[in-house]
């Protein structure tokens, strides 16, 4: 336990190394494409944002977590108002995670068509539906409406769609079903979350996902993105950058042997090391492996290693959240979690205490690393957390994802860490839950993008 307490602590000094290391990797990524030393820092080509004056009916597809979500939004006549909206979600079937079989986008098109039909939007002679496509992976874009997939993360595997234009592939899936659609924009879930909040709150400058995976997008000055094509003329002075911070790496990351195991057994070994310490897909598995090591050394369940404890992924992150939040005197929730995850039906209070502490250490490490990442983006953009000579600006951070939404202790530890790392500047930072941000932002930006296109073609 002592080794775990030390190894997972992320003291202030180490957190500041993470912050500064991340700034360095962000800067490299803004200069160079494909550098192994830098973050991907992917330009979104979104350099004007919805104004609230957009009108009409739009769809959004949100693909990249555990569920596929499709939304329909009717933007009202009042500025920024939504007349009606609805959203539907489906669990992504197991076969779609294996992208080599080519099923994924066909399945997405089928569900979207079903949904659009329910809304009476696929009638003969009606114009093709306009869809914002929120696709939560690293995509190398050259414009708002196209981009090549760089790599799969989370549970998606295989070579399907890699290096291919994802928008063209999705349109082709619709065409195979005899349906024509317009997709004026493809965007990351972090970008979409930022946009969804900024629609009503102009101080929003960062969008973060803390869910199955993690990532951050932020508004960057165009003159600080040297890798944009030469002569690129923005429609404003800023563009949203998808940092892909989950791929941050460095000796400053507090890794234990269990992190290496988790990495090796993931779909993308060697990538996403920061994500694997923070996000929902991995926190449970890291905790399980740490508990297993205690058991294997005879430090938890005597000489026995309960067989359920050796099963990969048997401790899901929602159970970690339940254990960490267990405030009952006899740790009853921890006991029932041990039973449902590992089939351990009898446990002593001391054993439950140890398991709870392991889960808490993993949660705290995740929250502190995430806070260090936020401090990096704030410092890099001159919004605060950079010392006395950098006055902090009020910054709203839009956050979506199950870890932020459902894991109260994670939120609490994240806030506390931000206050520790940024001092008084943290008072200027508001972390706000942007529910369904990833899907609605997609619809708003599709609306904005299609109104720019129609204005450009009418010459106004
Ligand atoms: C992906 C990001 C995404 C994040 C949150 C990561 O695995 O690489 O593009 O934003 O998950 O969904």
SS3 per-residue string spanning 94-159: HHHHEHHHCCHHHHHHHHHHHHHHHCCCCCCCCCCCEEEEEECCEEEEEECCEEEEEECCCCCECC
Token pair belonging to 395 = 């910054």
| Per-residue confidence (pLDDT) for residue 192, from 0 to 100 | 96
Ligand 1, residues 62, 134, 135, 136: which to mutate, most atoms within 8 A of Cβ?
A: 136
Is 285 close to ligand 1, i.e. is its CB under 6 Å away? no
If we measure between CA atoms, which residue out of 136, 163, 77, 418 comes closest to residue 272? 136
CA dist 220 and 239 (Å) reads 5
Listed in sequence order, the DSSP H helices in 180-265 are 189-198, 257-264
* Residue with CA nearest ligand 1 atom 2: 137
pTM above 0.75, yes or no: yes
* Residue with CA nearest ligand 1 atom 9: 137
Instruction: Compute, in angstroms, the gap from residue 215 CA to the centroid of ligand 1.
Output: 5
| Per-residue confidence (pLDDT) for residue 452, from 0 to 100 | 62
CA dist 51 and 445 (Å) reads 10
Give whole-number Cα distances, 276 to 48, 245, 261, 369, 417, in Å.
Answer: 33, 11, 11, 11, 19
| Per-residue confidence (pLDDT) for residue 142, from 0 to 100 | 94
What angle is formed at CA 407 by the lines to CA 405 and CA 408, rounded to 5 degrees?
Answer: 95
Query: Cα(first)–Cα(last) distance of the chain, in Å?
Result: 67
CA dist 423 and 419 (Å) reads 5
Instruction: Compute, in angstroms, the gap from residue 32 CA to the centroid of ligand 1.
Output: 21
Are the C-beta atoms of residues 57 and 74 closer than 8 Å to each other?
yes
Are the C-beta atoms of residues 258 and 286 closer than 8 Å to each other?
yes
Is 246 close to ligand 1, i.e. is its CB under 6 Å away? yes
What angle is formed at CA 50 by the lines to CA 129 and CA 244, rounded to 5 degrees?
Answer: 90
Instruction: Compute, in angstroms, the gap from residue 137 CA to the centroid of ligand 1.
Output: 5
| Per-residue confidence (pLDDT) for residue 52, from 0 to 100 | 79
| Per-residue confidence (pLDDT) for residue 457, from 0 to 100 | 46
Element (H, E) at 216: strand 214-221
Is 209 close to ligand 1, i.e. is its CB under 6 Å away? yes
**Number of C-beta neighbours around residue 124 at 10 A:** 4
Is 154 close to ligand 1, i.e. is its CB under 6 Å away? yes
Token pair belonging to 171 = 């349109």
Atom of ligand 1 nearest to the CA of 209: 5
What is the Rg, in whole angstroms, of the alpha carbon atoms belonging to the chain?
23
Token pair belonging to 247 = 């791929």
* Residue with CA nearest ligand 1 atom 1: 137
| Per-residue confidence (pLDDT) for residue 124, from 0 to 100 | 77
Is 365 close to ligand 1, i.e. is its CB under 6 Å away? no
At 272 the three-state DSSP class reads: coil
Is 156 close to ligand 1, i.e. is its CB under 6 Å away? no
Instruction: Compute, in angstroms, the gap from residue 401 CA to the centroid of ligand 1.
Output: 11
If we measure between CA atoms, which residue out of 131, 135, 159, 158 comes closest to residue 147? 135
Is 273 close to ligand 1, i.e. is its CB under 6 Å away? no
Burial class of residue 230 (count of CB atoms within 10 Å of its CB; 0-12, 13-18, 19+)? exposed
Sites in the chain below the pLDDT cut of 50: 456-460
Instruction: Compute, in angstroms, the gap from residue 157 CA to the centroid of ligand 1.
Output: 14
Cβ within 8 Å of residue 354, ≥6 positions away = 1, 291, 294, 300
Is 215 close to ligand 1, i.e. is its CB under 6 Å away? yes
At 183 the three-state DSSP class reads: strand
């Amino acid at each position: 336990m002592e080794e775990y307490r030390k190894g997972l602590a992320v003291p202030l000094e180490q957190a500041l190394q993470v912050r500064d290391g991340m700034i360095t990797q962000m800067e490299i990524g803004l200069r160079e494409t494909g550098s192994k030393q830098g973050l991907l820092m992917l330009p979104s080509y979104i350099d004007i944002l919805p104004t609230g004056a957009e009108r009409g009916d739009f769809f959004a597809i949100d693909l990249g977590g555990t569920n596929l979500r499709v939304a329909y939004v009717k933007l009202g006549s009042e500025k920024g108002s939504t007349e009606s909206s609805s959203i539907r979600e489906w669990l992504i079937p197991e076969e779609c995670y294996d992208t080599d079989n080519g099923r994924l986008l066909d399945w997405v098109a089928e569900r979207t068509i079903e949904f659009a039909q329910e809304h009476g939007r696929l009638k003969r002679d009606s114009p093709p539906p306009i869809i914002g496509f929120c696709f939560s992976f690293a995509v190398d874009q050259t414009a708002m409406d196209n981009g090549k997939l760089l790599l799969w993360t989370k549970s998606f595997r295989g070579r399907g769609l890699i290096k291919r234009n994802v928008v063209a592939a999705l349109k082709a899936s619709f065409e195979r079903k005899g349906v024509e659609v317009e997709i004026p924009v493809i965007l990351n879930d972090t970008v979409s979350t930022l946009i969804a909040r900024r629609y009503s709150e102009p101080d929003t400058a960062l969008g973060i996902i803390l869910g199955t995976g993690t990532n951050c997008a932020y508004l960057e000055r165009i003159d600080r993105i040297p890798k944009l094509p030469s002569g690129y003329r923005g429609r404003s002075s800023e563009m949203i950058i998808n940092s892909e911070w989950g791929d941050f790496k460095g000796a400053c990351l507090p890794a234990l042997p269990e992190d290496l195991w988790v990495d090796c057994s993931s779909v993308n070994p060697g990538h996403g090391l920061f994500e694997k310490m923070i996000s929902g897909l991995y926190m449970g598995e890291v905790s399980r492996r740490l508990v297993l090591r205690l058991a294997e050394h005879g430090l938890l369940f005597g000489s026995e290693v309960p067989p359920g404890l050796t099963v990969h992924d048997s401790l899901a992150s929602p159970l970690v959240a339940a254990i960490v939040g267990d405030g009952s005197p006899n740790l009853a929730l921890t006991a029932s979690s041990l039973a449902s995850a590992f089939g351990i039906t009898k446990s002593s209070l001391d054993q439950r205490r140890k398991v709870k502490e392991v889960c808490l250490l993993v949660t705290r490490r995740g929250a502190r690393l995430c806070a260090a990442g936020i401090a990096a983006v704030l410092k890099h953009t001159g919004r605060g957390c950079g010392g006395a000579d950098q006055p902090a600006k009020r910054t709203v951070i839009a956050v979506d994802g199950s870890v932020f939404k459902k894991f109260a202790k994670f939120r609490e530890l994240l806030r506390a860490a931000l206050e520790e790392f940024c001092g008084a500047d943290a008072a200027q930072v508001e972390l706000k839950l942007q529910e369904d941000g990833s899907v609605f932002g997609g619809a708003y930006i599709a609306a904005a993008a299609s109104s720019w296109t129609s204005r450009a073609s009418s010459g106004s």
